[in-house]
Structure 1
């Protein structure tokens, strides 16, 4: 399959969501007590207390040449990332990259879309890369972003945005299909620094722009 793939640097800035299995607990039902054969109302013994039987969650399997990732844990936004503060912005920036990692593994970019504004060009490129990587029976492997640091001076820009600097590295990306490896992009072994811009809109952070300033 021929695919147009954006440069990896552009992809960095990258519906049911739950892939982890949610296992229902079984319950042990008690036997009803025996009653007298006479017409009098039977005596009833207490039922056994239902006891949940814990079942191990499905095991996470990263993507490989053998197939796409399975049972990928869904990242949860930390409470700190929901605060309009310096620490909140830094936590939000970290969470954005975790959500992007989830998309790379599953092809599901809904987590990133929910926290990104329509003006974020880098986000649009990220959606394109991921969606192209999961066309039909294709899948992606690698691409994991390691967020090493996120720091903000928490100063409002004239455009009404707050900025943070994110230092990160990303694994190489491999594109697979039923016929095998289709394309591979090497990892950058030097850390990348990106300018992460976000706005506080309707009580939540929204990503407005992500710009690579050091590569």
Structure 2
């Protein structure tokens, strides 16, 4: 792969055309409570056993409740469940190279979350209002929900990250990243949807974000022309 520092010397595509990279990077369970009753009368010869039995039932119910709330990744027969919402690291709130990196890595975690859960509120709150790329991500997540379908795989992650904190005339700061995505397949109640397949990939892209009102907002990624993958 072309080194990110070398790629930084290239001329970048104007911010208005940063819309192309949309395909690469797209339940809460119920919990039970135990209501085991302990004997209130010590007169019964079986009171000790009843108490012990009740404790076992309560313990078992609590364990079952904990298990039902555990995160479950999607499988070919079931969508993801109980996926926790990513928490923004404190570094992502800094206006610095370190802050931009933390924010960008966090953004892609939120994008993964929205793809698994179809909950896009957090995703859109991290985007600039007119980001066509973010709207495409939202549409993808909405389609999963509307079609009662779900993705298996397709998680995006960032390898290398590089930024010189340079900004465009419009005020967007760009960074260069190594963007990796696992193989993705789409399933619904009828089985795998062939049209939803996406191979695993590793590409060099630049990403644009803007620091406004004391926080970062994400615009879009864009392929780096001529970069080796």
- Is the CA contact (8 Å cut-off) linking 1:20 and 1:73 kept in structure 2? no
Distance in 2 between the 1:162 and 1:203 partners? 14
After TM superposition, the structure 1 = structure 2 runs for residues 8-157 of structure 1, keeping only pairs within 5 Å, are: 9-14=21-26, 19=28, 56=66, 58-157=69-168
The reply to whether residue 176 of structure 1 matches residue 181 of structure 2 is: no
TM-score by length of 1: 0.73
What residue in structure 2 maps to residue 50 of structure 1?
none
Greater helix share, structure number: 2
Task: Pick 1 or 2: higher relative contact order, CA cutoff 8 A, min separation 6.
Answer: 2
Partner SS state of residue 152, structure 2: strand
Distance in 2 between the 1:202 and 1:22 partners? 39
What residue in structure 2 maps to residue 207 of structure 1?
218
TM-aligned CA deviation for residue 125 of structure 1 = 1.7
Distance in 2 between the 1:25 and 1:83 partners? 44
> Where in structure 2 are there 5+ consecutive unaligned residues?
1-19, 41-58
TM-aligned CA deviation for residue 172 of structure 1 = 2.1
1:210 to 1:9, Cα distance in 2 relative to 1, 3 A: closer
What residue in structure 2 maps to residue 186 of structure 1?
198
1:90 to 1:25, Cα distance in 2 relative to 1, 3 A: farther
RMSD between superposed Cα atoms in Å: 2.9
1:171 to 1:137, Cα distance in 2 relative to 1, 3 A: same
Distance in 2 between the 1:180 and 1:124 partners? 27
1:154 to 1:23, Cα distance in 2 relative to 1, 3 A: farther
TM-aligned CA deviation for residue 19 of structure 1 = 3.8
> Where in structure 1 are there 5+ consecutive unaligned residues?
1-7, 32-52
Distance in 2 between the 1:115 and 1:21 partners? 29
TM-score by length of 2: 0.69
- Is the CA contact (8 Å cut-off) linking 1:141 and 1:173 kept in structure 2? yes
TM-aligned CA deviation for residue 73 of structure 1 = 2.1
